[in-house]
Amino acid sequence: MSAQKVYFSDWPVKWGSFVVELNFKLKSLEVPFLRAIEFHGYILKKE
């Protein structure tokens, strides 16, 4: 039971750092991604 408690108390820490890392990666992708969407929308409007 104590092993499970350690596991569950450790889990949010790992998950939190994973989310932060993922968020950072998404932020760095966000600008080119949004520009690609805008550009795609521009092409669709032209046609």
pLDDT tens-digit readout, 2-36 = 555 555 566 667 777 888 888 888 788 777 777 88
pLDDT at 9: 61
Q: Is 6 helix (H, G, I), strand (E, B) or coil?
A: helix
pLDDT at 43: 73
